[in-house]
Amino acid sequence: MRELTQKDSKVEVTGTEAKYYDTLMNIITLGTYPSFIKRAIKDLNLTKGESILDLGCGTGRNDCIMLKYIGEEGSIAGVEIGKEMKEKFLENCDKPNIKLIDKRIDEPLDLDRKFDLVFISFVLHGFIQEKREIIIENAKKALKSGGRFSVLDYNEFDVDNSGFFTRFAIRKIECPLAEDFINRDWKSILGKSGFSKFEEKFYFKKKVRLLTAMK
């Protein structure tokens, strides 16, 4: 396989796709996205008062759900660069304890506070490995000691031996970086970056995983 570059990525969502991103996700997943994401966020085991950093927060759909668990005493900071995504986020998350940080997550990120949880949902697969490592480093730096890093993204699986729909989605709809992500051992990668105590939850017939590790 040829060497992948960041130009192969589709992770920067803009224009019409960004404006209708949540609806598109509902359609692509045949209407199952709302119940899936509610379940995945429940599986984060959030508690009242926690602080969350959401890397590549998109429209803020996930943040609105997370807010129900952390309450008014908790807080969320979403990091995002997409113009339309930022507009949607501000529209959807107009709450005093949710703020938007207009910065890139794939460059060293200096934040003025630490968080209980760093969450990244369907973002990490869209970067070349070098940039994924910068993002992981950003997550580690932003966490309190004992804080959790939760990656909601594709699980590791054998794409060749998957059903037609999965192969089509990964090889024709997704960017090539997604298959590269699927082929890597993420517990080992996060372990080498200093994370431990892994917990996993699976969705969509184990094609999607919520991988949580502790700093």
Ligand X SMILES: C[S@@+](CC[C@H](N)C(=O)[O-])C[C@H]1O[C@@H](n2cnc3c(N)ncnc32)[C@H](O)[C@@H]1O
Q: Is residue 85 a contact residue for ligand X (CB under 6 A)?
A: yes
- Pull the structure tokens for residue 100: 């938007």
Per CB under 6 A, the list member of 51, 52, 74, 80 interacting with ligand X is 80
Q: Are 67 and 78 in contact (CB under 8 A)?
A: no
Per CB under 6 A, the list member of 50, 58, 143, 169 interacting with ligand X is 58
Q: Is 122 or 157 the residue whose CB approaches ligand X more closely?
A: 122
Binders in 5-34 for ligand X, by CB under 6 A: 11-13
Q: Which stretch binds ligand X (CB under 6 A): 100-108, 168-176, 192-200, 205-213?
A: 100-108
Helices (H), 51-209: 61-70, 83-92, 129-142, 164-168, 176-182, 186-192
DSSP annotation of 96 reads T
d(CA 48, CA 68): 9
Q: Closest distance between ligand X and the C-beta of residue 5, in Å?
A: 15
Q: Which stretch binds ligand X (CB under 6 A): 28-36, 45-53, 104-112, 183-191?
A: 104-112
Torsion sign over Cα 126, 25, 147, 79: positive
Binding site residues, ligand X, CB under 6 A: 11-13, 56-58, 61-62, 79-82, 85, 104-106, 121-123
